[in-house]
Amino acid sequence: MQHEPGHDEKSSGILAIGNRTGTLSRAHIMSRNFRRKYYDIFSRFYDSFVALHSGDRGGVIREEFSAKIGLREGDSVLDICTGTGSLLLSLHRHVGVEGRVLGIDFSMGMLQAAKAKTASHPNIHLVQADAAELPFKQEKLNLVTCSHAFYELKGDTRDKCLREVSRVLKVGGRFLMMEHDVPKNFFIRFLFYLRIFSMGSRKALAILKSEEMVFRESFASVVRTTTETGRSKIFICQKA
């Protein structure tokens, strides 16, 4: 299914196509169901947890991220694994009312929290979908973002997601990925590892280490930078 956002939305304002299984393996779907339940529960206290974990109570990191992106009024931007939609409002400020902001996530709990934040903006659309199967037409978007979530996507899911991101981006479009660097503070570092290992995740650490290489396989250019706080790293990847 190829979907033009803005159509078919249910009364919740969230388009639910999260149970598509088109090209996904049985293992992927089982793992997805488990992770989705986990995030449905986590959605209730996710924002407070992140504020403590990242020390970013005012959402400054996300504002800085959006400002670095170079969005223009009228652009179309997709935030994958959008969670509670913390990035969507700042993206919206950059693209304006003529632009279009899309957020996808597989957890309805997270999307409901995102909807509560963004309901007053008709050009912010939320879709329940898997990052490995983006329900959008090819070469329609100026930018795709992924904030503090790429480590979630492992192995085949990650590879499919990057192919999908590249497919939906216009020529010259960019994928921006922001991720926590390992925290320096002992307690915060403990929470960071707790979260990583709650995913069963020696693999996740391996991904964190090799992500630059993975991006280089999928994009024409890759630049790594860090936020001013030094707590998060940002990869800017451009499609040829």
Ligand X SMILES: C[S@@+](CC[C@H](N)C(=O)[O-])C[C@H]1O[C@@H](n2cnc3c(N)ncnc32)[C@H](O)[C@@H]1O
| Residues binding ligand X (CB under 6 A) | 35, 39, 50, 81-83, 86-87, 105-107, 110, 130-132, 147-149, 152-153, 157
Residue with smaller CB distance to ligand X, 18 or 99: 18
Q: CA 166 → CA 113, 132, 211, 218, 231, distances in Å?
A: 28, 12, 16, 7, 27
Residue with smaller CB distance to ligand X, 148 or 239: 148
**Least Cβ distance, residue 231 to ligand X (angstroms):** 13
Residue with smaller CB distance to ligand X, 87 or 141: 87
**Least Cβ distance, residue 27 to ligand X (angstroms):** 13
Residue with smaller CB distance to ligand X, 2 or 171: 2
**Least Cβ distance, residue 144 to ligand X (angstroms):** 12
> Cβ atoms within 10 A of the Cβ of 9, count?
14
Residue 173 DSSP one-character state: E
Q: Are 107 and 40 in contact (CB under 8 A)?
A: yes
The Cα 204–Cα 206 span in angstroms is 5
Residue 60 CB burial class (10 angstroms; 0-12, 13-18, ≥19): middle
Strand order in the sheet with 14-16: 14-16, 124-128, 100-105, 76-80, 141-147, 169-180, 232-238, 221-226
Residue with smaller CB distance to ligand X, 151 or 219: 151
Measured from each CB, the residue nearest to ligand X is 83
**Least Cβ distance, residue 106 to ligand X (angstroms):** 4
**Least Cβ distance, residue 111 to ligand X (angstroms):** 8
Residue with smaller CB distance to ligand X, 15 or 153: 153
**Least Cβ distance, residue 152 to ligand X (angstroms):** 4
Residue 208 DSSP one-character state: H
The tokens describing 59, both together, are 């959402």
Q: Are strands 232-238 and 169-180 parallel, antiparallel or unpaired?
A: antiparallel
